[in-house]
Amino acid sequence: MRRQRGAPTRPARPRLRRVLAVGLVAAALSLTACQPGRESRAAGSGAPTSTAPSARLAPAPCGTYSGRGCAPAGERVDLVRPSFSNPTKVTNRLFPIGELGSAVLLGHVDGKPFRSETTLLHDTERVAWDGQVVETLVSQYVAYLDGRLEEVARDRYAQADDGSVWYFGEDVMDYRNGAVALTEGTWLAGREGSAAMIMPAHPKVGDVFRLEDVTGVVFEEVKVKSVGQTVQGAWGPVNDAILAEELHADQSTDHKIYAPGRGEFRTASGGDLEALALAVPADALPGPPPASSSPSRPPRWASWSWPASGTGRRPRRPSSGWTRPGPPFGPPPGRHR
pLDDT at 1: 56
pLDDT at 285: 85
Residue 288 pLDDT grade (very low, low, confident, very high; cuts 50, 70, 90): confident
* Other C-beta atoms lying within 10 Å of the C-beta of residue 211: 20
Distance, in Å, from the CA atom of 264 to the CA atom of 214, rounded to the nearest integer, reads 21
Distance, in Å, from the CA atom of 119 to the CA atom of 326, rounded to the nearest integer, reads 21
Average pLDDT score over residue span 28-47: 41
pLDDT at 327: 41
Average pLDDT score over residue span 125-134: 97
pLDDT at 296: 56
Average pLDDT score over residue span 129-135: 96
By CB atoms closer than 10 A (0-12, 13-18, 19+), residue 232 is exposed
Pick 186 or 23 by higher pLDDT.
186
**Range with top average pLDDT, 43-47, 59-63, 327-331:** 59-63
**C-alpha pair distances (Å), 74 with each of 77, 206, 221:** 8, 11, 14
Average pLDDT, the chain: 80
pLDDT at 48: 44
pLDDT at 297: 57
Distance, in Å, from the CA atom of 119 to the CA atom of 108, rounded to the nearest integer, reads 21
Residue 46: pLDDT above 80?
Answer: no
Which region among 122-131, 148-157, 312-321 has the lowest average model confidence (pLDDT)? Answer: 312-321
The answer to whether 312 and 94 have CB atoms below 8 angstroms apart is no
pLDDT at 216: 86
Distance, in Å, from the CA atom of 140 to the CA atom of 45, rounded to the nearest integer, reads 56
In 94-147, the DSSP E strands lie at: 102-109, 112-129, 132-145
**Range with top average pLDDT, 98-102, 208-212, 214-218, 315-319:** 208-212
Residue 293 pLDDT grade (very low, low, confident, very high; cuts 50, 70, 90): low
Q: Is residue 62 classed as helix, strand or coil in its secondary structure?
A: coil
Distance, in Å, from the CA atom of 281 to the CA atom of 279, rounded to the nearest integer, reads 6
Size of the chain, expressed as the number of residues it contains = 337
Which region among 231-245, 292-306, 320-334 has the lowest average model confidence (pLDDT)? Answer: 320-334
Residue type, 331: P
